[in-house]
Amino acid sequence: MKPRVLVTGAGGQIGSELVTVLVQKYGEANVFATDKVRRPSRGAEPPLELLDILDRQAVERAIKRHGVDTVYHLAAILSAVGEANPDLAWDVNMNGLKNVLDAASSAGVDRLFWPSSIGVFGPDAPKVMAPQDANLNPTTMYGVTKVSGELLCEYYSLKHRLDVRSVRFPGLISSEAPPGGGTTDYAVEIFHSAIEKGSYDCFLREDATLPMMYMPDALRAAVQIMEVEGRRVRLHIGYNLAAMSFSPAELAAEIMKHIGAFKVTYSPDSRQKIADSWPQSIDDSDARKDWGWRPQYDLKGMVSDMIGRLRERQTAQAKDV
């Protein structure tokens, strides 16, 4: 039997592409995409249903109405917006998560995916290959909510028999929806700016190396950990997940192989401090060992695919005008 899936925060960077993948796998009649706000449709995905995760009763009603047994809970506030508005980050990321866990438990949901982040790490974690069990002492409100969220998810897995599965995503690079206010957003903006203007002013330092991943790998990871048999998911906190690590200068150099005249300047802002508190790379050997995780894209493959897709879209838009 195909799962009946509800996605929260489905209009965001991950959700807007994840919904398309889920519809392809399970059929449009089994996927319910929800968000607090409606975004313009890209055409292929089902329409968004309005759902605010701060309204616990509404979440439970939506789960029951659609006979949902699987939830992908993506609604959240990301690191840079969260640092500018810590009360909002706490409210959405903690009270919102608890509402969704409570509603899912009481409505009899079997399985729930909730993404954690490299934001769980703080300055005292090893900078290179931060292990799964590194110290988790983040210095951002986003990180505080991700560490607390991981513990809350583990608690619900133990006490409420809700099978919560989670990964610590690195910064995600995607060609479809724009990123939602994180520290790693530069790695998406840089492509649009390179193609549209031939230049980019980066808000991180040229040597700010961070763990990153291309969206197709992230979507595969989310679906893979949700579909794998339960005995292979040993951890119900977030599994470290890695694909590539690079600095803005290394990314710019790879883009220049496709767009020779591209110029980058650097004007680090408050987001640099957040980047400085995170590791440069993380060790994902537990995810590889336990449920067979393997990324498919490295820096070269990701840049080539991103530029191909954005150029295709630019050509299609030019034809429409």
Residues with active-site annotation = 142
182 binds ligand AKB (CB under 6 A): yes
171 binds ligand AKB (CB under 6 A): yes
- Kind of pairing between the strands at 244-246 and 210-214: antiparallel
Ranges of H-type helices in 40-183: 56-65, 79-84, 86-90, 96-106, 141-159
Residue from 7, 53, 208, 235 binding ligand NAD (CB under 6 A): 53
Min. distance of Cβ 193 from ligand AKB in angstroms? 18
118 binds ligand AKB (CB under 6 A): yes
Residues 105/160, Cβ–Cβ less than 8 Å: yes
- Positions 53 through 92 that interact with ligand AKB (CB under 6 A): 78-79
State which residue, 30 or 240, has the beta carbon closest to ligand NAD: 240
- Helix (H) / strand (E) containing 316: helix 299-320
Residue from 78, 252, 255, 302 binding ligand NAD (CB under 6 A): 78
- Residue from 69, 21, 6 nearest 221 by CA: 21
Binding partner of 183, given ligand AKB, ligand NAD, none, CB within 5-8 angstroms per partner class:
ligand AKB
Residues 241/211, Cβ–Cβ less than 8 Å: no
Round to whole Å and give the CA distance between 222 and 216. 10
- Residue from 268, 246, 248 nearest 206 by CA: 248
Please tell me the count of residues contacting ligand NAD according to CB under 6 A: 29
Round to whole Å and give the CA distance between 79 and 219. 20
DSSP E strand stretches across the chain: 5-8, 31-35, 49-50, 70-73, 111-113, 116-117, 163-165, 167-169, 171-173, 199-202, 210-214, 239-240, 244-246, 263-266
Q: What does the per-residue mask of binding to ligand NAD show for 276-315, with x meaning CB under 6 A?
A: ----------------------------------------
Rounded to 5 degrees, φ, ψ at 197 are -120, -15
92 binds ligand NAD (CB under 6 A): yes
Round to whole Å and give the CA distance between 80 and 210. 15
State which residue, 54 or 158, has the beta carbon closest to ligand NAD: 54
Ranges of H-type helices in 5-110: 15-26, 56-65, 79-84, 86-90, 96-106
Binding partner of 52, given ligand NAD, ligand AKB, none, CB within 5-8 angstroms per partner class:
ligand NAD
State which residue, 4 or 146, has the beta carbon closest to ligand NAD: 146
Q: What does the per-residue mask of binding to ligand NAD show for 242-261, with x meaning CB under 6 A?
A: --------------------
- Positions 172 through 231 that interact with ligand NAD (CB under 6 A): 172, 179-182, 184
277 binds ligand AKB (CB under 6 A): no
Interface residues with ligand AKB (CB under 6 A) are 78-79, 117-119, 142, 171, 182-184
Interface residues with ligand NAD (CB under 6 A) are 8-9, 11-15, 35-37, 52-54, 74-76, 78, 92, 96, 115, 117, 169, 171-172, 179-182, 184
